[in-house]
Homo-oligomer: A and B are copies of this chain.
Amino acid sequence: MVGLDPHLDLLPEEFTAARDATLPREERAQALADFCWELIDVCAGRVAVVKPQSAFFEVLGADGVAAWETVVTQAHEAGLLVLGDLKRGDIKSTAAAYASAYLDGAESNDANALCDAITVNPYLGDDSVEPFLEVCRRTGKGMYVLVRTSNPGGGTIQMHGTPPLCHAVADAVARWGEDLVGECGFSSVGAVVGATYSGELRDFRARMPQTPFLVPGMGAQGASAADTVDAFEPGGIRGAIINSSRGVAFAYRSPEHAGKAWKDAARDALDAMISEVTAALGART
A61 partner, pick from B59, B94, B109, beta carbons under 8 A? B109
Instruction: Select the stretch in A41-49, A146-154, A235-243, A277-285 that faces chain B.
Output: A146-154
A55 partner, pick from B65, B90, B157, B172, beta carbons under 8 A? B90
A140–B122 Cα gap in the complex (Å)?
A: 30
Q: How many copies of this chain does the complex contain? A: 2
Assess the A160–B168 pair: CB atoms within 8 A: yes
A15–B244 Cα gap in the complex (Å)?
A: 44
Assess the A91–B149 pair: CB atoms within 8 A: yes
A25 within 8 Å of B (CB atoms): yes
Interface residue count for A (Cβ, 8 Å)?
67
A188 within 8 Å of B (CB atoms): no
A107 within 8 Å of B (CB atoms): yes
Closest Cβ of chain B to A221, distance in Å, is 8
A5–B68 Cα gap in the complex (Å)?
A: 23
A113 within 8 Å of B (CB atoms): yes
Assess the B162–A108 pair: CB atoms within 8 A: no
Q: 0/1 per residue, A149-180, Cβ < 8 Å to B? A: 11111111110111001001100100000000
Assess the B125–A123 pair: CB atoms within 8 A: no
A62 within 8 Å of B (CB atoms): yes
- Write out the residue numbers on chain B whose beta carbons fall within 8 Å of the beta carbon of A87: 88-90, 121
A107-B21 in contact given A55-B98, A160-B168 (Cβ < 8 Å): yes
Closest Cβ of chain B to A36, distance in Å, is 15
A151-B7 in contact given A56-B97, A165-B161 (Cβ < 8 Å): no
A58 within 8 Å of B (CB atoms): yes
Residues in A107-158 with C-beta less than 8 Å from chain B: 107-109, 113, 121-128, 146, 149-158
A123–B101 Cα gap in the complex (Å)?
A: 22
Q: 0/1 per residue, A250-264, Cβ < 8 Å to B? A: 000000000000000
Look across to chain B and name the residue whose beta carbon is closest to the beta carbon of A155. Answer: B125
Assess the A153–B128 pair: CB atoms within 8 A: yes
Closest Cβ of chain B to A164, distance in Å, is 8
> Could you list which residues of chain A lie within 8 angstroms of chain B, going by C-beta atoms?
5, 7-8, 19, 21, 25, 28, 53, 55-56, 58-66, 68-69, 87-95, 97-98, 100-102, 105-109, 113, 121-128, 146, 149-158, 160-162, 165, 168-169, 172
A-B contact pairs, 20 of them (CB 8 A): A8-B97, A25-B109, A28-B108, A55-B97, A59-B97, A61-B66, A61-B109, A62-B62, A62-B63, A62-B65, A87-B89, A87-B90, A122-B157, A123-B149, A124-B146, A124-B153, A124-B154, A127-B151, A157-B169, A161-B165
